[in-house]
Chain A
Amino acid sequence: MMFSKSKKNKQKFIACTGNNKKYEFVNPKELSIKQGKENLPVEIIQDKQGFVYIVWKKKKYQVDVIEKNQNQYEIMVNGVSYPISIESPFSYKRRKYLAENVEESKVEKIHAPMPGKIVEFLVEENQVVKEGETLLILEAMKMQNEIISNIHGKINKINFQAEDNVMKDDILIEVER
């Protein structure tokens, strides 16, 4: 067990954000957030409609868990979402170690930024492309969008054909550095 079961002990949680910022919380169930040396109380309220708010330092924040998968959360605060992973001090160290020792991938995957339909591919497999070059045209909500390469490289693989419908985050093209 990564976390101590004893209620006497301090339970420390490290919350890592998408842009690699970290926040530490000791015993969050005590409903306070430390600022400097002071522990400032947190209040949780729910309104008639069921919206949940955190009140801290006299300010109200609407909060919602959009998605969770084990220790990975996507939290919405006032309409803006934040990907957050919760680590113990031990797992945080391991995560940091792994991140530092992973080789940079040679293949860049170009994902669909939105669901839509592919109008046409402007490149072929094995073709060399420049950074900023248009790879394909994706039609979504009746707008045609250019999907561009963010690296200089060679087209490794094209996963779809023109007229195909794609979902958000589908891998459209793989470009090799």
Chain B
Amino acid sequence: MKKIKSILIANRGEIAIRISETAKKMGIKTYGIKTPKEPGAYYLQFMDEIIDFTEAISDIPEFLDIDRIIYSIKEFNIDAVHPGYGYLAENPYFAQKCIDEKITFIGPSPDSIYKLGNKTIAKQLASRHNIPLLEGSDGNIKNTKHAKLLAQKIGYPVILKAASGGGGRGMRIVESEDSIEKMFRMAQNESEKAFADPSVFMEKYVRNPRHIEFQILADHHGNIIHLGERECSIQRKHQKLIEEAPSIALNDELREKMGESAINIARASNYRNAGTVEFLLDESGNFYFMEMNTRIQVEHPVTEMVTGLDLIEWQIRIAQEEKLTIKQKDVKIEGWAIECRINAEDVQSGFSPFLGTVEKISITNGKNCRFDTGVAEGSNVTSNFDSMLAKLICYGETREKAISNSLSALSKLQIQGIKTTIPFCKAVLNHPKFIKGDISTSFIVKDMKQLFHQEQDEEMIAAFWAALNYNVQLDIEDETYVDYEKGKNMTPWLMNKRLKSL
């Protein structure tokens, strides 16, 4: 066993903070990276040591600059690196480089990352182990003619996906032959841009499926367990927005079957560390293997809440070659957890990115409620990074209680200066179909009439606030009104005082 004494966290935002908290608990020293894009970032306050990357030395984004990161690890004599999610988390070259340099990479082997990261290879692996798959192109599509022929064979609708993709990028649903050529070109183009690999494959498209994924832990000694499922069906353009654990769609029998398939995939790829096996579940309870994510996921906290385990801790313990002390039969799923992603997006104008400064933020941490945030008062939201600011995770003994706890926490969560997905999350959690558990990945498009939650009198209150502000403004502008504070911002305190003196 090689005990890890220090970790470089090669990431930013909430996940950097999340990793640092577990490291601190385990007595491990943390190093963070300071970038010129956000030198005053909130996550840096949580690091024991900060490595300064503010001087630009290449065009490669800081968290993707393998050579510079490796160099710094050697320079500061750091034992291990945790990549978080995104960036270098699923880069087999980086994982290999760590091995070459005798640095512990907290994650799976480069071989597993490569095989599972390439969806075509991953599917071949799954099919060899009798794991159900959707019918599709057995490999990448060569050209538009090939795409047309394949789609005819599989039957429309079909979906085109980037072979090196993830997170919904490079994906296109094609409803009929009219648009196959255009969509194929677009998928290739997007894939090339996002992943520097234009390879695209095709699959049968299942309507109204649920997205169910299984959390896996595998050690270096051949032990593999699953920690139950997460349902991530609330998605917009393949981006997850609300996740929960467990799923209302699974009974014990299906859970066991899917869990076993997940473990089989992990075993087939010689998997180690934490990973997630994603499935589509259709309306009749058939499931299909989609892909395996070889990293910690954004939505891992819901699993932590219902299992009582610290997944980051297990990632670190497995990386130092400890044996899993939990057997499959010890894994107990208790209660229900829901995660709401708080993104800097304007739900009222098509979820477009909302940039600006977090002027104020008020949070509620409670017994049933966890708030993993990457921002604090004064944080800037720029187009340099992903729009996710924070995650609100709430627990309840039942699904109903988890929903009501989430709603009450959301109503107390105030952010000023940035428009966020909070009103969207409220709208989902108040939706009768969501409450019933009747959801699918097309929920947002199909079932939601309004994408943001509104209380009855909110518009009228807005109108009143505008009228009152205007009224007070007019008084200030009135020349006959002696005002020594003219030009200052109106505060309610000031306004109240003025109103009283009238």
Contact = CB atoms under 8 A, between A and B. Distances in A.
B463 A23 contact: yes
A81 B480 CA distance: 34
A107 interface: no
A50 B358 CA distance: 13
B470 interface: yes
A46 B194 CA distance: 46
Given A29-B499, A46-B492, A142-B169, A73 B466 contact: yes
A79 B459 CA distance: 12
A140 B345 CA distance: 12
Contacts of A81: 348, 419
Interface size band for A = 35 or more
Contact of A44 (B386, B411, B495): B495
A171 interface: no
Interface in A66-84: 68, 71, 73, 75-82, 84
A51 B358 CA distance: 13
Grouping DSSP codes into helix (H, G, I), strand (E, B) and loop, the B interface class, with mixed when no group exceeds half, is: helix
Contacts of B189: 119, 137, 144
A141 B167 CA distance: 12
B77 interface: no
User: Which residue, of B360, B463, B465, has the highest number of chain A Cβ atoms within 10 A?
Assistant: B463
A29 B464 contact: no
Contacts of A73: 466, 469-470
B352 A143 contact: no
A165 to B, nearest CB: 10
A5 interface: yes
B502 A29 contact: yes
B469 A65 contact: yes
A43 B467 CA distance: 15
Interface stretch (B220-228, B250-258, B264-272, B471-479): B471-479
Contacts of A119: 189, 193
B325 interface: no
Contacts of B350: 113-114
Contacts of A139: 193
A52 interface: yes
B499 A31 contact: yes
A56 interface: yes
B460 A33 contact: yes
A81 to B, nearest CB: 6
CB-based closest 9 A-B pairs: A114-B352, A15-B463, A82-B462, A73-B466, A23-B463, A75-B462, A84-B466, A13-B467, A86-B470
11 contacts: A13-B471, A25-B464, A45-B492, A51-B414, A76-B419, A76-B462, A79-B422, A79-B423, A80-B454, A113-B352, A142-B169
Interface of A: 3, 5, 7, 11, 13, 15, 17, 21, 23, 25, 28-29, 31, 33, 42, 44-47, 49-52, 54, 56-57, 59, 61-65, 68, 71, 73, 75-82, 84, 86, 113-115, 119, 134, 137, 139-144, 168
Interface of B: 168-169, 182, 186, 189-190, 193-194, 237, 348-350, 352-353, 355, 360, 362, 383, 386-387, 411, 414-416, 419-420, 422-423, 452-455, 457-472, 474, 478, 480, 491-493, 495-496, 499, 502
